[in-house]
A and B are shown apart, each in its own frame.
Chain A
Amino acid sequence: MLRSFTILGAIILLILHTAHGQIYTVSPFKMSYFQPNVGLNIEPYFNGQDIIMSFGVGLEEKGYDFSSTFNVGFRPYLKKVRIQEEENLFYQYRERVLLFSLDIEKQLYFLEYAKGDYNNHIGLYAKAKLGYMHANYRGLSESLKNGFTVAPGAGLAWDMKNARLSAGYLLFDQQNNIPNGMIDIMLTIYLNNKNDE
């Protein structure tokens, strides 16, 4: 938990450092016209026992401040996990995980500041990963975990001219002994941003 606050604090300090102009509040429910962009994202989510890397592509809507992307996440190494079979009996497997997900995220910006010809925004986000998880276990012919999963999350979002950086909390239940709470950091790059306000 302390690590989460340290990371979020560092991000806020970074934002304040780059904000040369005046920061002012805006309504988080203010909407503009439809401004669709294509976005690429890279998203590690992790805790003290695990890390998942995710890459995605999809719609970044900057007028109504939401995104909808297709993501593929995977653990870049074999992880020993314990799964309870029955009372007092646990299996320890070496596991690989793949997660295909549709990520839906809504941003609520409440701070704004001018940076060059663009107004950057700072606010909160809420998201959900709606996905299909597939796990492979060495030494087993069949996967024990194939199925749909939902992982909700929330945190801070920082919208810039060509990118958005967000950091927050993700609740991802892997159905094993790894804690469900994870720190979620995502960098999104807008590919066809027209810089409209």
Chain B
Amino acid sequence: MKRIFYSLIAIFSVLIVSSCGKTTGNGECDQDITCYTQKPEELFVKLQLSKNESDSPVEVTFYKGDIDDGDIIDNFPTDSTEESYLMPINEDYSATARYLEGQDTIIAVDGERLSAESFENCDETCYDWDHTIVLDLRLDN
């Protein structure tokens, strides 16, 4: 009984520790890490897309906010499987992609908040300028 109990605690401890984000830990200092101390004002939002069965263009709509109460930023047809936007941080972004599958229309939806990511190194706050959010609008077949 005790063995099971301690095993469960060990498993949960490993899960909690492994769920931590990018950090060098409290008080740690790695001089090899490039540290950008200026907070970015804009970062990339990447849209991942599938192709239509008929190779016709996919109609994409990009929103600031959610698709049901946000503002349309862009609306366009595309043959590409990836599109990117450089957008201001601290906003929610969402997008839809309209696909045709035989007689059916599939509208793929995704959204996420674009925030700056940071970590502590050598007692400084470093910002990740490569941080990108990905809106996955690919069809799940």
CB-nearest residue of chain B to A193: B1
**B contact patch SS:** strand
Q: Does A138 lie within 8 Å of B105, measured CB to CB?
A: no
CB-nearest residue of chain B to A92: B108
Q: Does A138 lie within 8 Å of B104, measured CB to CB?
A: no
Among A59-67, A83-91, A147-155, the stretch in contact with B:
A83-91
Contacts of A93 in B (CB 8 A): 109
Contacts of B110 in A (CB 8 A): 94, 138-139
Given contacts A91-B108, A139-B110, 18 further A-B contacts (CB under 8 A): A88-B103, A88-B104, A90-B104, A91-B106, A91-B109, A93-B109, A94-B109, A94-B110, A137-B109, A138-B110, A139-B94, A140-B67, A140-B68, A140-B109, A140-B111, A141-B69, A162-B1, A163-B4
Also in contact, A138 and B140, with CB within 8 A (given A88-B103, A90-B104): no
Contacts of A92 in B (CB 8 A): 106-109, 139-140
Number of chain A residues whose Cβ lies closer than 8 Å to a Cβ of chain B: 18
A residues contacting B by CB (< 8 A) are 80, 82, 88-94, 137-142, 162-163, 189
User: A138 CA to B1 CA in the complex, in Å?
Assistant: 41
User: A93 CA to B4 CA in the complex, in Å?
Assistant: 38
By Cβ-Cβ distance, the 3 closest A-B pairs, closest first, are A139-B111, A139-B94, A80-B140
Q: Contact residue range for chain B?
A: 20 to 34
Q: Does B94 lie within 8 Å of A138, measured CB to CB?
A: yes
User: A97 CA to B26 CA in the complex, in Å?
Assistant: 34
Contacts of B111 in A (CB 8 A): 138-140
Contacts of B82 in A (CB 8 A): none
Q: Does A141 lie within 8 Å of B68, measured CB to CB?
A: yes
